[in-house]
Homo-oligomer: A and B are copies of this chain.
């Protein structure tokens, strides 16, 4: 790690926001043009040294590229006898975990870490904090956004409370499973006296460098999943708000996390045309059934030469297609295999759950040919607070900052 001081200076020198930190990272190595990535390597030619900065106006782990592994951890605060005491405990916890997160993402162990050696390869580790209704209520009742509550019941749901709403969410993402296992344990140890673990859900994506950079991930049905994810200004507005779309707090956003079981055995019985008909895209290329490429827009009214619709109105893409400019979400989910159960940890970020996520979800719950092979088992909604600067902690600015 002989190059570490200069790398750190480069990464953290003037970077106060995530965007700045990302730009710093890009400057630390030659990044090839989109589609022809050159991996960001350290002096050893390894990617384990890649760091993402914790501090900034926005939290990391949202817009930053999704690493290969994630662990979503639901925490419940120990209930106390009075609100002031509970709030103090929550702030202590958030302060401690923010400090831990900054150190771990920098490749250092947490304070009093018994295995700091396992933290030495951060490999794009990020720690992202989410607040459930009770936690926001403790920090600032006036700030609680109207959408911060359990989603309405959908007919397709078979929800298990074991994967339900928690007071806090920790989202850990990392390219290295060893670093991630250590970070998970180190953080959880520091929560023990103040919170209990409601659930831990682990997921995966393609390994770093395995697929061409910028390519869309496939889900366990073999489908390209996330082809319609926004970019550029559309992404900026979807996540952080913009004209007519207000986030609950400046540089804050929201996360809807749903555990969706996928019936792989049932899916195997569907032939390729049946699969493509249900999705509305071709499994191989991700192109809409009416033609074009993966990222070309979907035309739900496209007709074949006989005047018949090429896309079923109940196909997944036809139902998911935005009906207005607000219906844009940022999907950053992970696949999971848990014993004999497989599926998707569907993770959707958006400035406003009600305006962006819910209209799409309602349509898909109402009718979507894919629903016969998918079952939502878990559901939780979190307010994602802004990032913090050195010396601060996630959630620390909430009492002071008002709605923007």
By a beta-carbon cutoff of 8 Å, the part of chain A in contact with chain B is 32, 36-39, 41, 44-48, 68-69, 114-118, 121, 123, 175-179, 181-182, 184-185, 189, 204-213, 217-218, 220-222, 264, 267-268, 283-284, 335, 337, 342
Q: How far is the CA of A346 from the CA of B268 in the complex (A)?
A: 34
How many copies of the chain does the oligomer comprise? 2
Distance from A370 Cβ to chain B, minimum over Cβ atoms (Å): 15
Distance from A2 Cβ to chain B, minimum over Cβ atoms (Å): 12
Return 28 A-B CB contacts under 8 Å, by A number: A36-B44, A37-B45, A37-B46, A39-B41, A39-B45, A41-B209, A44-B212, A45-B209, A46-B211, A48-B207, A48-B209, A68-B177, A69-B177, A115-B222, A116-B222, A117-B222, A121-B210, A175-B207, A176-B207, A177-B207, A178-B205, A178-B217, A178-B335, A179-B206, A184-B337, A189-B268, A208-B208, A208-B209
* Partner of A123 from B41, B114, B118, B210 at Cβ < 8 Å: B210
Decide: B175 and A210 in contact? CB cutoff 8 A: yes
* Partner of A114 from B177, B209, B222, B342 at Cβ < 8 Å: B222
Q: How far is the CA of A342 from the CA of B161 in the complex (A)?
A: 25
Taking CB atoms, residues of chain B closer than 8 Å to A38 are 45
Decide: B207 and A68 in contact? CB cutoff 8 A: yes
Decide: B121 and A206 in contact? CB cutoff 8 A: yes
Closest to A71 in B: B337
Main secondary structure of the interface of A (DSSP, over half): loop
Closest to A268 in B: B114
Decide: A207 and B207 in contact? CB cutoff 8 A: yes
Decide: A204 and B222 in contact? CB cutoff 8 A: no
Distance from A346 Cβ to chain B, minimum over Cβ atoms (Å): 16
Q: How far is the CA of A264 from the CA of B182 in the complex (A)?
A: 11
Taking CB atoms, residues of chain B closer than 8 Å to A211 are 46, 48, 121
Distance from A392 Cβ to chain B, minimum over Cβ atoms (Å): 29
Given A45-B36, A117-B218, A222-B118: A337 and B209 within 8 A (CB)?
A: no
- Known A45-B213, A46-B210; 14 more pairs at CB < 8 Å: A36-B44, A39-B39, A39-B41, A39-B46, A46-B211, A48-B207, A48-B211, A114-B222, A114-B268, A116-B222, A177-B204, A178-B206, A182-B220, A208-B208
* Partner of A209 from B46, B178, B185, B268 at Cβ < 8 Å: B46
Which 7 A-B pairs give the minimum distances between C-beta atoms?
A: A115-B222, A48-B210, A177-B204, A176-B207, A176-B210, A47-B209, A44-B212
Given A207-B177, A210-B175: A185 and B264 within 8 A (CB)?
A: yes
Given A208-B208, A335-B181: A118 and B47 within 8 A (CB)?
A: no
Taking CB atoms, residues of chain B closer than 8 Å to A210 are 46-48, 121, 123, 175-176, 178-179
Distance from A220 Cβ to chain B, minimum over Cβ atoms (Å): 7
Taking CB atoms, residues of chain B closer than 8 Å to A212 are 44, 46
Q: How far is the CA of A37 from the CA of B43 in the complex (A)?
A: 10
Q: How far is the CA of A48 from the CA of B208 in the complex (A)?
A: 9
Decide: B207 and A123 in contact? CB cutoff 8 A: yes
Distance from A163 Cβ to chain B, minimum over Cβ atoms (Å): 14
Taking CB atoms, residues of chain B closer than 8 Å to A189 are 268
Taking CB atoms, residues of chain B closer than 8 Å to A32 are 45
Distance from A164 Cβ to chain B, minimum over Cβ atoms (Å): 18
Q: How far is the CA of A221 from the CA of B217 in the complex (A)?
A: 34
* Partner of A207 from B185, B208, B222, B284 at Cβ < 8 Å: B208
Q: How far is the CA of A124 from the CA of B309 in the complex (A)?
A: 44
Q: How far is the CA of A47 from the CA of B68 in the complex (A)?
A: 14
Taking CB atoms, residues of chain B closer than 8 Å to A221 are 115
Decide: A283 and B207 in contact? CB cutoff 8 A: no
Decide: A218 and B45 in contact? CB cutoff 8 A: no
Q: How far is the CA of A176 from the CA of B182 in the complex (A)?
A: 20
